[in-house]
């Protein structure tokens, strides 16, 4: 039985939506309580697909994000509880050199979560630096599916050539690829416009997941080229991009005002209309509520074309993930 026959990704409104759990890095007590409230709000509103990774933690790669998500799942009592779907990504670390290492990694994730993983994903391809390692790790992913430890198998940061290669390898094991996760937003259309990944995924029956659909916050309208800028690595990036993307932000704002929506909601809805499952992060209830407002309606073709045309004029776009393959 193929994984896409066993794994049913939750849907709501005009498309499928998931809450990205990648922001759960190193928070304690007060923040954890806030995040539990975010989780509760999402599930209560029908957002039941949660994406995380075994490398998301406190800096010691100890999977704290999975620990928190497992805690939130156990403590939630309310509607849609039975529909919660957990997706995690297993890192292709250089010390994971055997099939069993991937099986062990997923079992560790399940232990932290307190439940089996529904969708297991290869976090990135090793094709750019250690292509010999990748088939071993993919076989470990296939072992997980064959042993009934996961309901579905997915990939992340794969381009069309490597995707077709992985599809062939997994098909030889009787395992279908259920999902492919790529960086995708109005500021990062590269996987579709340059690589043509959507046509291939549509042909193979693979559902696309868009991470960073708000381009690290650039598409929220909360930042301007005058500042202030966010701390850390985003600061220099925002200084570099904000002056260039003003026309796109203006277009996004105009569509949002006409729709009586926020810029974030329009940017997320645009991803949904493009056939992606967007996974925006939310670290407080206000952000979660805003993300949920992207559901239940749909941009019309003219609005999508307006946003597409504006995005196509931008010369400075988001930097691509270094692990993204061709």
Would you please indicate which residues are annotated as catalytic (active-site) residues?
56
Pull the structure tokens for residue 290: 């805003």
Pull the structure tokens for residue 233: 């690595």
Smallest CA-to-CA distance from 136 within 179, 182, 176, 90 is with 90
The answer for residues whose C-beta is within 8 angstroms of residue 298's C-beta and 6 or more apart is 14, 269, 272, 273
The answer for residues whose C-beta is within 8 angstroms of residue 130's C-beta and 6 or more apart is 94
Q: Are 117 and 126 in contact (CB under 8 A)?
A: no
Q: Are 53 and 88 in contact (CB under 8 A)?
A: yes
Q: How far apart are CA 31 and CA 283, in angstroms?
A: 8
Q: How far apart are CA 170 and CA 39, in angstroms?
A: 33
């Amino acid at each position: 039985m193929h994984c896409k026959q066993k794994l049913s990704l939750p849907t709501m409104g005009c498309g499928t939506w998931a809450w990205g759990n990648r922001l759960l890095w190193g928070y304690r007590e007060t923040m954890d309580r806030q995040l539990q409230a975010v989780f509760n709000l999402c599930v209560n509103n029908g957002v039941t697909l949660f994406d995380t990774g075994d490398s998301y933690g406190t800096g010691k790669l100890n999977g704290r994000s999975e620990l928190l998500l497992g805690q939130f799942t156990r403590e939630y009592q309310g509607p849609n509880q039975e529909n919660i779907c957990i997706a995690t990504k297993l890192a292709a670390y250089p010390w994971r050199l055997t099939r069993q290492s991937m099986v062990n990694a997923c079992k560790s994730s399940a232990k932290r979560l307190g439940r089996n993983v529904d969708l297991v994903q290869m976090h990135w391809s090793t094709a750019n630096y250690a292509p010999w390692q990748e088939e071993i790790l993919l076989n470990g992913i296939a072992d997980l599916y064959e042993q009934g430890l996961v309901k579905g198998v997915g990939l992340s940061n794969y381009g069309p050539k490597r995707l077709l290669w992985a599809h062939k390898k997994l098909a030889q094991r009787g395992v279908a690829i259920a999902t492919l996760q790529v960086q995708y937003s109005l500021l990062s259309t590269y996987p579709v416009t340059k690589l043509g990944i959507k046509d291939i995924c549509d042909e193979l029956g693979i559902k696309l997941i868009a991470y960073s659909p708000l381009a690290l916050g650039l598409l929220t309208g909360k930042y301007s080229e005058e500042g202030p800028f966010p701390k850390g690595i985003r600061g220099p990036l925002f200084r570099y991009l904000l002056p260039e993307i003003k026309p796109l932000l203006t277009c996004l704002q105009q569509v949002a005002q006409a729709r009586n929506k926020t810029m974030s909601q329009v940017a997320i809805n645009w991803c949904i209309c493009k056939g992606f499952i967007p996974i925006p992060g939310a670290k407080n209830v206000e952000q979660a509520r805003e993300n949920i407002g992207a559901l239940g309606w749909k941009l019309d073709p003219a609005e999508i074309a307006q946003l597409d045309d504006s995005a196509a004029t931008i010369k400075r776009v988001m930097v691509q993930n270094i692990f993204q393959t061709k």
